[in-house]
Structure 1
Amino acid sequence: MNGQYPLIIGSDTTSEITKAVSKVFPPTTHLFCTRHVRQNIERQLTKTRVHQDDRQKLLEAIFDVPDSLIKSDNIEEFEDRLAEFEHLWNEIKNTNPNNYKHVMDFHDWFITYQAQNFQEHLIGGIRNAAGYVNQDGTAKLFYNNDNEALNHMLKNESYWERRPLSDVLESQSERAQIIRDYYAYQLPIRQPTTDFNIPATAGRKLGRKVFVGQQQP
């Protein structure tokens, strides 16, 4: 690529992809799909037999609340929040210790299989540093499926398999111009009319000399 590397590459957590990106695009920020990671964690919570309410608390602490693990601005903040996360997990586990006797400790599993992924591919500090942000400047979460859905819609709308690429691009350009024209259109300003110039004979029927509703003499 003439010494030029993409700023960001996003994917799921497949180890083969991670190794390939690291080898071929070493300076590139590699983001993991938040949806795939969340689904993996949800599956592990199910295996660990965590009750639904407690499962939701843990997922919120990882992904959703303002001070969640994934929203950490740097590794130090992530580690501090990870300690708080361990405290939350211990509270949940100690309320029903027999439920978790014969399964892998969820916090241990997270440290073993997820913590490094978060530090290198998911936390807000990584996304901010790569410029992957929302319009308000906050770090944007990466989702594979958003890009896949957009590509799928574009392909279906443009019938791309049956047409030359130049035709597809031309049709998309025309479509974009129509959309721009639609939103730029403004209705003409109409001046209010005060003089309607209604003739005196308005309301009469042909052949009659009286107004409608007037009594015959």
Structure 2
Amino acid sequence: MHVTVTCYKQLSVNRQKTDEPPIFVGPLFIHDSSDFETYVNFFDHIRNKLVNVSLDSLVIGTDDEKAMVKAITTSFPSSTHVLCTGHLRQNAKQRLVDDAVTLADRNYILNKIFGPDGIVSADDSICYDEKCDELGRHLATVSNKFHKYFVDRLEPILKTKVNHPVRHDLIGANWTNNNCESINHVLKQLIDWKSKSLTDLIDAIHRLVRGQFAELRSAIIGTGEFRLAPTHEKFKLTKTDWVTMTLEQRSRHFSKYRNYLFTNPRLLTSTNGQVTIVAPKTLGRKPGQRRRKVNERTTTLTKRTKKDS
């Protein structure tokens, strides 16, 4: 039995200590097989639940499991799929070890790919291609086997699944799926790291999800680990207001809070609503440029006349 866990950032609240949105459990999939047909049924189900939602700005990140990647790109063709650099680095490292590449060369190659000034952090396509060519020439002298893997497999996915999303501000540099790994760890703690029956597993997951949504209710009245994000502060209530409300009124208020859609300031949508892009950092302005008021007073410097010496 396998459990495929999805997670997302709950943007309606922030943690009190870090001021960052918490990670919430998303749809989970309990399954026996891990092939393309199994995964595509799961992701098709999620896509059908989002039938009235634009998926162009959706970013989905995973490790490099081929069946899952194929299923995601099939079910969400208009969305952006990214790969975990942690898993890519580990896979590359293992291949170098298997090919008996020396430790010094391994560290040099991995740094040239995943380092702060590596291929994944290239500023534009020209720099990306130059860094790949430079590394390719080095690999040809170190390991023909890894060189072929780099050219045929690793470099193409680094370009489309890592560097391109980073350059367009869709993900941060060296993104990893550590959030999902953390949720996996929480689930294992819930079952005390032991094999459990299917019903016990489902009960444990249900308790976890209910606990997370209970924290959202607490945030509305200003208690608990979370506080409402600025985009959702209009839903804040005092404890007195909450207590005096009927059960139906509380449920209706919480439903409005949960279904509230706010505009992401980092996204720009065309006037016809058909295209959504990530807003440029400068919004078309030069660094330091400001808009002058029409009636702002200006000063003209007096032209000096050149005196005869």
Q: Can you give the 5+ residue segments of structure 1 that lack an aligned partner in the other structure?
A: 94-99, 134-139, 178-217
Q: Report the Cα offset of residue 47 of structure 1.
A: 1.2
Normalized per residue, the structure richer in helix is 1
Task: Compute the TM-score of the two structures, normalised by the length of structure 2.
Answer: 0.45
Task: Compute the TM-score of the two structures, normalised by the length of structure 1.
Answer: 0.62
Corresponding position of 1:167: 214
Larger Rg: 1
Task: Name the CA shift for 1:147/1:53 in 2 (closer, same or farther; >3 Å).
Answer: same
1:58 pairs, out of 109, 124, 130, with 109
Q: Counterparts of 1:118 and 1:52 in 2: how far apart (Å)? A: 23
Normalized per residue, the structure richer in strand is 2
Tell me the percent identity: 25
CA deviations over 1:62-117 (Å, ceiling 9, x no partner): 11141x111123443322111100222245x3xxxxxx6xxx52211211121111
1:88 pairs, out of 138, 141, 154, with 138
Q: Report the Cα offset of residue 20 of structure 1.
A: 1.8
> What are the equivalent positions in structure 2 for 1:48-127 lying under 5 Å apart?
48-66=99-117, 68-91=118-141, 93=142, 105-123=145-163, 125-127=164-166
Q: Report the Cα offset of residue 154 of structure 1.
A: 9.8
Task: Name the CA shift for 1:17/1:74 in 2 (closer, same or farther; >3 Å).
Answer: farther
Cα root mean square deviation, aligned = 2.9
CA deviations over 1:133-153 (Å, ceiling 9, x no partner): 4xxxxxx32211234326755
Q: Counterparts of 2:207 and 2:171 in 1: how far apart (Å)? A: 35
User: What is the aligned residue count?
Assistant: 158
Q: Counterparts of 2:71 and 2:104 in 1: how far apart (Å)? A: 39
Corresponding position of 2:26: none
> What are the equivalent positions in structure 2 for 1:138-217 lying under 5 Å apart?
140-149=173-182, 152=185, 161-162=206-207, 164=210, 166-170=213-217, 174-176=224-226
Q: Counterparts of 1:63 and 1:122 in 2: how far apart (Å)? A: 10
CA deviations over 1:7-43 (Å, ceiling 9, x no partner): 2100011122222222221121111001100010001
Q: Is the 8 A contact 1:45 1:55 kept in 2?
A: yes
Q: Counterparts of 2:77 and 2:137 in 1: how far apart (Å)? A: 36
2:94 pairs, out of 28, 43, 46, with 43
